[in-house]
Amino acid sequence: LFTTGCEDTNDDHDHDDEGHTDAEGFVLETESGTVLYKELDGAIITNNLTLAVGQTLELSVHFLDHDGEEIEHEEEGDDHDHDHDGEELEESELRITGNDVTIATVEFEEHEHTDADGTVHHEMALEVTGVSAGTTSFKLELMHGDHADYTSTSNVPVTVTSGI
């Protein structure tokens, strides 16, 4: 005699880690979709982050799951937390460390848009500006409160050329 249940016991969601990102890598890509840097499972897959002095690259940041697929960040409705001044607090943000600002500046930006159904999409971006010819690198961390949900396993190299 045996019984079967209709309950799904293969739950892929860990509810204790709600709000955390379980990333295994990330890509940096241009607005046209060209991947300039990709890291997955500790390996550098693409490494072509080069720009000229005075040039600015706006790069979207997409975190990847263990299959190399993009992890979607979205929230239903507008249930954001707010600080004591009424300013919206973001659950996750990027932290950039280690770059030589005399070679290139690397700054974090966040873009947000809402679909017709009320789903809020957060897009993280970096703005990299060439300051002087040379090479530098930076560590990228996806911060959640006071700890990193993801830290790049390698420093991301940036090459700045003198131009023409």
Question: In terms of DSSP bridges, do strands 56-64 and 74-76 run parallel, antiparallel, or are they unpaired?
Answer: unpaired
**Contact in structure between 160 and 53 (CB atoms under 8 Å):** yes
For residue 132, the model assigns a pLDDT of 97
- CA 61, CA 123: separation in Å to the nearest integer? 7
Q: What is the three-class DSSP state of 65?
A: coil
Instruction: Provide the pLDDT confidence category of residue 57 given band limits of 50, 70 and 90.
Output: very high
pLDDT of 88 strictly over 60: no
Report residue 95 CA to chain centroid gap: 10
Q: What is the pLDDT of residues 58-75, one digit of tens each?
A: 999 999 999 999 987 544
* Alpha helix segments (H runs only) across 53-136: none
- Torsion, Cα of 37, 40, 42, 48 (10° steps): -10
Q: What is the pLDDT of residues 46-56, one digit of tens each?
A: 999 999 999 99
- CA 39, CA 29: separation in Å to the nearest integer? 12
Mean pLDDT score of the chain, rounded to an integer?
80
Give the amino acid at 156: V
This prediction has a pTM of 0.74
pLDDT of 97 strictly over 50: yes
